[in-house]
Amino acid sequence: MAEIRNILITGAAGFIGSHLCERLLEEGYNIYGLDNFDPYYEPSLKRRNLSGVLHHPSFTLIEADIREAERLNAIFELYSFDAIIHLAAMGGVRHSILYPKLFAEVNMIGTLNLLEAAKTKGVKPFIFASSSSVYGKSGKVPFSETANVDHPISPYAASKKAAELLCYNWHHLYDLSVICLRLFSVYGPRQRPDLAINSFSKNLQAGLPVPVFGDGSSSRDYTYITDIIQGIYLSLRYIENHKVFEVINLGSSESISLSAMMAYLEELSGKQFIRETQYLPFGDMQITLADISKARSLLGYEPKLSFRDGIRLWWDWFQSSSQ
Ligand SMILES: NC(=O)c1ccc[n+]([C@@H]2O[C@H](COP(=O)([O-])OP(=O)(O)OC[C@H]3O[C@@H](n4cnc5c(N)ncnc54)[C@H](O)[C@@H]3O)[C@@H](O)[C@H]2O)c1
């Protein structure tokens, strides 16, 4: 297969996208970072996320919305991409229950538009950021890629599952090579402000209450950002030489309870949370835990950071960035 030099990264200004741009520029690729600076969270934070790459000679910023098919087609006419890493999405399980149509438009139609543009211009390698949320009520823990994922419990999860199906369809019909990466609760510097570790840290620092769902036993497979970026990079290397459709979990394979996560933050900060007990929201899963044996064997993926080490790095960054 053709060598990959020019990569389109959608959602480039986001938490994961901005780290990925930095890493792939370091690896010597030409990066075209596309984002519409959606206002779900402060667009100025997204501009700041890109500050490290904006002036890099191999980086091009494309401000565009993936819902606009004609605009995408014009972009694909203007530039020549060898691969696409599609991260742009509406995120947030609870937000998706409030705005299901928006999630369908961005996460499903937006993905469809990109697949169509890729097909038309013959861009074959396509990596899609799916989510552990697709496992929904699939039951068996740890979650394996072979599990039945027909029971998502939020519009966000349903939209990611639907996008995976579209990816398979375009692989089957048009020979695109696709890897759908099911990412598990990513954290680290620049984490999205709505995600638990970030929002809890802010409230802890400010002495504001935080919601504790149920008895605090709900748990997440938190994965440090550098491990996720390494997993995406390995997927890129893999897809360069393989014509495939694969669904692959990227997690840490360690599940941390809400109570334990809070205890770590209390230890690091020397402060106590003000706890407000609430019911577990209807769209939230009780547990996520990745079986990463496929990522290990296919990609050589091996997460490096334990939660204990990762949360310390997070806390150091959080303190220095909130000065
Ligand atoms: N962060 C996690 O824990 C996690 C877990 C599983 C999956 N994912 C997936 O990884 C990807 C990146 O997540 P993130 O945490 O970096 O989120 P993020 O919100 O920080 O980044 C997403 C980016 O997509 C952009 N975007 C949104 N709608 C767009 C549109 N219509 N057109 C163009 N750009 C648009 C946003 O402006 C944002 O910069 C998403 O697909 C998300 O669903 C994230």
How long a stretch of residues is the chain? 323
What share of residues in the chain are helix, strand, coil (percent, to 5)?
45, 20, 35
Going from the Cα of 111 to the center of ligand 1, the distance in angstroms, rounded, reads 12
Confirm or reject: Cβ of 250 under 6 Å from ligand 1. Answer: no
Confirm or reject: Cβ of 11 under 6 Å from ligand 1. Answer: yes
Which residues, 6 or more positions from 16, have their beta carbon under 8 angstroms from its beta carbon? 87, 129, 183, 186, 225, 228, 229
Amino acid found at 110: G
**Is 301 an active-site residue?**
no
Catalytic residue among 29, 32, 135, 156: 156
Which residue's entry shows tokens 């075209």?
A: 32
Phi then psi for 196, rounded to 5 degrees?
-55, -50
Domain 6-186+223-253+289-304 sits in CATH 3.40.50.720: yes
Going from the Cα of 271 to the center of ligand 1, the distance in angstroms, rounded, reads 31
Where do the domains of the chain lie? 6-186+223-253+289-304
pLDDT tens per residue, the chain (323 residues)?
679 999 999 999 999 999 999 999 999 999 999 999 999 999 999 999 999 999 999 999 999 999 999 999 999 999 999 999 999 999 999 999 999 999 999 999 999 999 999 999 999 999 999 999 999 987 789 999 999 999 999 999 999 999 999 999 999 999 999 999 999 999 999 999 999 999 999 999 999 999 998 889 999 999 999 999 999 999 999 999 999 999 999 999 999 999 999 999 999 999 999 999 998 888 888 999 999 999 999 999 999 999 999 999 999 999 999 75
Task: State residue 40's pLDDT score.
Answer: 95
Task: State residue 294's pLDDT score.
Answer: 98
Going from the Cα of 270 to the center of ligand 1, the distance in angstroms, rounded, reads 32
27 within 8 A of 202, measured Cβ to Cβ: no
